[in-house]
Amino acid sequence: MNGTNIIETFEAYTTGTTNTFTAPTRLPIPWPPQLTSANPNSSLISANYAYDGTKSCRIQWQWPDANNNRWAHVLANADTGKHFPQLDTRLPITFRILVLPVGTTVAHSFIGTLSTITNSGIAYTGSTNTLGITVTGPGPYNYQWDFNGGQIFDATNATLNVGDPSSLSVNDTGTYSVSVNDGTCTEKRSFNLGVVDPIPVITNQPVQQVVNAGGTASFSVAADGHVPSGYP
């Protein structure tokens, strides 16, 4: 996921296929070997361990030695050859990785389903904006909100009042995230909030009229000043 855009979803792939990602590989010399040359270095579409939906991409590998400097190199590919997604580096890039120890076949994934953050989009200076997240599932759940990567003190509920109590300013523009924990696993949702000065908008234009000479014409117009943002 890149911001709010899905880079790759596995729902359309057939379980057991390997046509989404190649297995982790060694880079050519002079890079040192990082992985064993034999199995279990593989990648396949699985019907298990999906955080959302019903499919996941299961990648497994094994290191060749006990060095502490470790990495895996995973290439995106397709039927017609390798491709690399176009990413917007101004937005958060998110990977969800479920790590299973060797020999483990049963894993715990998040036991609920998270909604997107509500009340997202543009907000106006002088007002407040309440953000919220909905979780369906047995619970209980713990919440923690953060702003631009830093935790917001005492923001541990399913809702967050941005701009409370002194109202919103342009300094409140940024990325808001909430982490929801079910006691074992954590799911996270993020979005970018833009705060701007309110600009009046004409909602109903005057309508043309035909009147007799000597008569009167009455015109009306309606506008939205984004009250209660402090503008008349």
Average pLDDT over residues 165-176: 85
Q: What is the DSSP letter of 157?
A: S
Q: Give yes or no: residues 140 and 78 share one domain.
A: no
Q: Give yes or no: residues 154 and 139 share one domain.
A: yes
Structural domain harbouring 183: 113-196
Tell me the CATH number at 182: 2.60.40.10
Average pLDDT over residues 160-176: 84
Q: Give yes or no: residues 63 and 124 share one domain.
A: no
Q: Give yes or no: residues 91 and 169 share one domain.
A: no
179 contacts: CB under 8 Å, gap ≥ 6: 143, 144, 145, 146, 186, 187, 188
Q: Give yes or no: residues 87 and 119 share one domain.
A: no
How many CB atoms lie under 10 A from the CB of residue 147? 16
* High-pLDDT (> 90) share of the chain, %: 21
Q: What is the mean pLDDT of the chain?
A: 80
Predicted pLDDT at 213: 94
Q: Give yes or no: residues 1 and 96 share one domain.
A: yes
Cis, peptide link before residue 40, omega less than 30° from 0: yes
Q: Give yes or no: residues 135 and 160 share one domain.
A: yes
Q: Give yes or no: residues 36 and 104 share one domain.
A: yes
| Number of domains within the chain | 2
Domain end call among 88, 109, 130: 109
Per residue in 109-165, pLDDT (tens digit) is 778 888 988 875 678 887 778 899 999 888 899 999 999 989 999 999 999 988 867
Residue 130 lies in a domain: yes
Q: Give yes or no: residues 61 and 136 share one domain.
A: no
Domain end call among 109, 136, 170: 109
Q: Give yes or no: residues 3 and 94 share one domain.
A: yes
Helices then strands, each counted (H, E), the chain? 0, 15
Residue with tokens 């909905």: 134
Q: Give yes or no: residues 7 and 42 share one domain.
A: yes
Q: What is the enclosing helix (H) or strand (E) of 231?
A: none
Per residue in 22-40, pLDDT (tens digit) is 667 666 656 677 788 777 7
Q: Give yes or no: residues 131 and 56 share one domain.
A: no
Residue 203 lies in a domain: no
Domain end call among 81, 109, 137: 109
Q: How far is residue 199's CA from residue 215's CA, in Å, rounded to a whole number?
A: 36
**pTM for the whole thing?**
0.53
